[in-house]
Amino acid sequence: MMDALISIIIPVYNTEKYLKRCLDSVVNQSYKNIEIIVVNDCSPGNAEEIINSYMEHDERIKYVTYEKNKGLFCARLKGAEIATGDYIAFIDSDDYVTIDFYHCLVKNAIKNNSDIVIGKTIFEKSKEEQYINNLHDCCFLFDELNGEEVRNNYFNQKGLCYSWHTVWNKLYKKELWDKCLEYYNKITEHLIMTEDIAFSTLMFYYAEKVTTTQNDGYFYCQNGDASTNVDDITIKKFEKNMKDIKLVFDFVNDFFEDVNAPQWIKDKFLETKKYYSRMWRELGERVFFGHKKVCAAKIMEEFLPQYKEHTSEDDHFFESINTKWNGGLEHIKEQIITGDYEYISFDIFDTLICRPLYNPTDLFYMLDKKFEELYETNISFYKIRIAAESIARQKESGLHPSFQDVNIDEIYNYISMEYNIPVDIANLMKEEEKKLEIQLCRERKSVKELFDAALICGKKVIIVSDMYLDEETIVKILSKNGYYGYEKLYLSSTLRLTKYNGALFKTVLEDLNVKGNKILHLGDTWQNDIINAEAVGIKTMFIPKALEVFENKIPNVCTNNCGYIAKSACGSVQNPKGFMDSLGFRSMLALVANKYFDNPYRSFNEVSDFNIDPYFMGYYAVGMHMAGIVKWIMEESEEKEYDNIHFMSRDGYLPMKIYEKYHEVYKNAPEAKYIYTSRKSLLPGMLINELDFYDLPIEFRNHTPKTILSLLKFCSKEVNKDIEINLRNNGILYNKAFENEDEYNNFMRYYLENLYDGMKHEKSYNVAKDYYSILNCKKDVTFDLGYSGRIQGAVSKLAGEGINVYFIHSDSKKSDSVKRKHNFKIKSFYDFTPNMTGLIREHLLSDPGPSCIGFKRKEGTVIPRFDLEEKDFQDFFIVDLIQKGAIDFTEDYIEIFKEYIEYIPFKSQEVSLVFEGMLINSKDIDRKIFKASYFEDLVYGARDRINIYEFIKNEIEILKAENPTLGLDSGMDYSSMIEKILWGRNKIIKFMIYTIFDRKTLKGKVKNKLENTPIIFKICKKGYKILKKYFKKNI
């Protein structure tokens, strides 16, 4: 159904100077099956003249005009009224869209049967200032939302991210629009401000499926003369705007009543109204004075009576971080669609197709699985496969001098001949390699967009690749990943010519009988795909490998320290080359690179390491760390006979989710369970006798008698209104923090003598004891982040026996004595204390829901009691995205490598280095994702809102002060920096620079180039030794 019609509605009012730009972007869309409905809302300029000039040349344009201005809402409605499309879209006449925007949206809508498809928004102040809003983009990092997920995501953000409700960055199924139409028609007033909230809220309420696209976008131009601009606002305009906003909120609330919407949706929408009240009240108080200020306050009181709050910094969180837009992919699309080319040519591997492998030859390690089934030997098949290809290239070039490449049949013939491996086994291994290639190959989504764009605009597509695989296997790989419709396939394994010396490109030109300037070739290798293609006259566009972008090796595509975060955490003890020798570690890096840099020209903040993207942090750093932790847990549990591992709330929440995913692979591992704990809920089990009250798990200097009494409510007598007076009479100030231990001890003595209720304590103890009675020392083990073991001691006490525990790390002070007294064992992931401990780890891994504060009996069972306070959306949003990223990494890793997990080994602590590097060495701007995030620590620190960003910043400053040699390693190695500097330079300059600055890399590159020509290699090697000896002697 790629013939689906899109109706694009363009309201016009006072935007004549931008109208041509808007119309040009629509009429020149790659997707041609559109009707363009222009609604002239009585615009005062020459809009009609401009529109008529376009209508003369494009019959797809329909024109509607009003004699009286009716406002943006009615203009959109009028355009939709005459729309005949299967889908409907809106574009404001002072904005414009990327060239493939509607094609990408409609293709996505048809493929997924979406009700709404959301595209990217690019903000433009001028052609020189185009940027994306990082946190707005983060809201749409999902592939799809279904059913209740749609309403949850739309209403829970409470209007804080306006990209949810803007109508112009989306495509709507016309059926969905029609379902809402009877309600839209109830608004007949002139309406401009927030009209999109009226449209969007109803459509998101009814939508059953919402999907996203990530690359093409809508340019939202921030023009000073826009009708919704509030700069230099007058009191008259303020009043009109607030009238519009009130109309919209009243309209939506009436809709909720008509459809009997759930109360939670009404409550969330009220929070959206409060947010708008805060913004507009603040604006009125800031810009108006005297009588006008009083008038503005009255208007706001009518909008939301008795609500006088102003915005906080957290209200502006979603607008707080911007990044320059990278239009690299858009530029390539424009060349493909508008360029005077007959053919668009694509390379295959790392261009059309990506593999989750750091090196292409890493696949050969995975072949050991099959080889070990077929043949009993200690040698790795990897070694045989590498050597056999080298032998094949050497011998076949001698037998057939004109052959520039070998094929897979020849390679496996030499495997059989050179290693005396039976032919039938060699053939089985050959088929296994083909099968594994097909299995591992994935489409590169951004390049698939380029491929589809070429086809839809009528260009002929060819595929040109250097590859030893046979044509049948290549076709299967392409077909599996949706690549159809290409004209011809040119393979080095078939034609025996390569791109390396340009011969394959020359054959393409001869076969097609066209000049080079009629072909545009896209590829990932600078020398072979760009320089060598251009040498024969073919035009080119560069598509960098995702891995090379990740490792910051491409000039003018900056990703900073992104690929080297693990190295930055190594310090002076661990050798970073060690983890790059690990197949599992580098396969994880390849997986991350392919996921995040599928579009090599994605916008990446130039002073960031993680692109200020919580999802990326989760997918990369947290995902790899969780893989390490789960592997360690399963290895530790292997020889034990535990039936269950109980992940303790709230820190164990994400580790449990990840563990459950890996349990699908390691089916003999203990079952995962979730058990509620917290310092507060376990206090009844920690306080065994009166002495324990003098050693509460708190920092007493942060507490007052009032906060202590709140913690000890479970074992305290009812406190009356005279408590403050009684304490003062005993020299204790109710609201004053303890300055020293003597003050604290003095209060505790008073408490135990006057306020402690032993019977109440015993009752609380027994309830908690019944909850933890499910634990059995032989069958159960728990998991917690750590550290002192006091929580585990209380759990063991309440369970009636010592329950062993897995920690991330334990402290060096208390854990040994606690485990001895309570008879349990601690196994720690880290047998040392990491630099960044505690709060931030808990925040990232914890259940974002409410905290357990105790237990109660209900209908014969014991259930947890929870804190009623709800996290702010900004805080929940960040943690949720990080955890989603980690879970997605886990699912992707298992999906790809499930059968081969034992053959791609990694060390648990090594894959955790990225996480440790992120905590300690990430840039300050990356940590700003936590600017609106808070942590509650009412027990230890007596604080209910610890700002995460400030906490990390303070911790790092303390670490630097305590350890000046700590340093923040850039991570990027010397050779990589040299390589980036030399990218695209000619061979002579490269040779000279490597000779002077990096001879080790030069030797490696020469060896790789000449490995198939042993005679030349020996001559070069001997010459190098002579020169080295000469310079050593004379210099």
Please write down the HEC assignment for all residues of 325-369: CCCHHHHHHHHHHHCCCCEEEECCECCCEECCCCCHHHHHHHCHH
Q: Is there a contact between 838 and 787 (Cβ–Cβ < 8 Å)?
A: yes
Name the more confident of 1007 and 834: 834
What pTM, to 2 d.p., does this model score?
A: 0.92
pLDDT (tens digit per residue) in 340-350: 999 999 999 99
- List the one residue out of 603, 501, 544, 521 whose CA is nearest residue 980: 544
CA contacts within 13 A on the Cβ side of 75: 31
pLDDT for the residue 1030: 60
pLDDT (average), residues 391-410? 95
**pLDDT value at 1003 more than 70:** no
Q: Please, which pLDDT band fits residue 989 given cuts at 50, 70 and 90?
A: low
**Best CA proximity match to 32, nearest among 450, 337, 486:** 337
Could you give the percent of the chain with pLDDT greater than 90?
82
Range in 436-440, 841-845, 1010-1014 the model is least confident about: 1010-1014
Q: Give me the pLDDT at residue 981, please.
A: 55
Please report the pLDDT score of residue 241 as a whole number. Answer: 96
Least confident of 532-546, 644-658, 964-978: 964-978
The closest alpha carbon to 836, from 761, 757, 927, 760, belongs to 927
What's the 3-state SS for 749-770?
HHHHHHCECHHHHHHHHHHHHH
Question: How high is the pLDDT of residue 699?
Answer: 84
What band does 324 get if pLDDT is binned at 50, 70 and 90? very high
pLDDT above 50: residue 669? yes
Distances (CA, A) of 403 to 393, 894, 1015: 9, 40, 18
Residue 617 has pLDDT above 60, yes or no: yes
506, 410 in Cβ contact below 8 A?
no
pLDDT, residue 1020, reads: 72
Q: Quote the tokens at residue 549.
A: 């972008």
Among 58-62, 81-85, 769-773, 997-1001, the least confident range:
997-1001
Structure tokens at 139: 């809201």
Q: Residue 344: what pLDDT?
A: 98
pLDDT of residue 994: 62
Check whether 231 has a pLDDT greater than 70: no
The 10s digit of each residue's pLDDT in 790-802 is 999 999 999 999 9
Please give the average per-residue pLDDT across 179-201, as a whole number: 96
Give the least confident one: 152-156, 167-171, 722-726. 722-726
Length of the chain, please? Answer: 1035
Using alpha carbons, list the distances in angstroms from residue 185 to 79, 84, 181, 189, 266.
13, 18, 6, 10, 22
| Confidence grade of residue 974 (pLDDT, cut at 50, 70, 90) | very low
User: Would you say residue 982 has pLDDT above 60?
Assistant: no
pLDDT attached to residue 878: 96
Q: Which of 278, 144, 122, 259 is nearest to 210 (CA)?
A: 144
Minimum mean pLDDT range among 226-230, 267-271, 654-658, 849-853 = 226-230
- What's the confidence (pLDDT) of residue 996? 63
Whether 205 and 151 have beta carbons less than 8 Å apart is answered as yes
Give, to the nearest 10 degrees, the angle between helix 235-258 and helix 290-303.
Answer: 0
Rounded to an integer, what distance in angstroms lies between the CA atom of residue 762 and that of residue 743?
27
The pLDDT of residue 970 is above 50: no
Burial 280-318 (b: 16+ CB within 10 A, else e): bbebbeebbeeeeeeebeebbeebbeeeeeeeeebbebb
Find how far residue 973's CA is from the centre of its chain: 25
Q: From CA 763, how far away is CA 715, in angstroms rounded? A: 9
Q: Is the pLDDT of residue 1019 over 90?
A: no
Residue 400 has what pLDDT?
A: 95
Write the pLDDT tens digit of every residue in 105-141: 999 999 999 999 999 999 999 888 999 999 999 999 9
| pLDDT above 70 as % of the chain | 92
pLDDT at 152 over 60: yes
- Report residue 601's pLDDT band, with 50, 70 and 90 as the boundaries: very high
Tokens in use for 186? 């109830």
| Percent helix, percent strand, percent coil in the chain, to nearest 5 | 55, 15, 35
Mean pLDDT to the nearest integer, 741-766: 96
pLDDT higher than threshold 80 for residue 32: yes
Between 983 and 171, the higher pLDDT residue: 171
Q: What is the pLDDT of residue 575?
A: 86
Name the CA radius of gyration of the chain, rounded.
33
Buried b / exposed e across 151-166, counting CB within 10 Å, b at 16+? bebbbbbbbbbbbbbb
Mean per-residue pLDDT of the chain: 92
pLDDT for the residue numbered 667: 86
Burial of 233 (0-12, 13-18, 19+ CB in 10 A): middle
Kindly indicate the confidence band of residue 1008, based on its pLDDT and cuts at 50, 70 and 90. Answer: low
Q: Which helix (H) or strand (E) holds 910?
A: helix 908-911
Model confidence band, residue 1017 (pLDDT cutoffs 50, 70, 90): low
Read off the DSSP letter of residue 165: T
CA–CA separation, 247 and 240 (whole Å): 10
Q: Is the pLDDT of residue 169 over 80?
A: yes
* Beta-bridge mates of residue 62: 37
Confidence of residue 951 (pLDDT cuts 50, 70, 90): confident
Residue 906, pLDDT > 50, answer yes
Q: Which residue in this structure is represented by tokens 């690749």?
A: 465
Band the pLDDT of 839: cuts 50, 70, 90: confident
Residue 971 has pLDDT above 50, yes or no: no
Query: According to the model, what pLDDT value does residue 988 have?
Result: 67
Would you give the DSSP letter of residue 65? E
Q: State yes or no: pLDDT of 228 exceeds 70.
A: no
Section 1005-1030 average pLDDT: 65
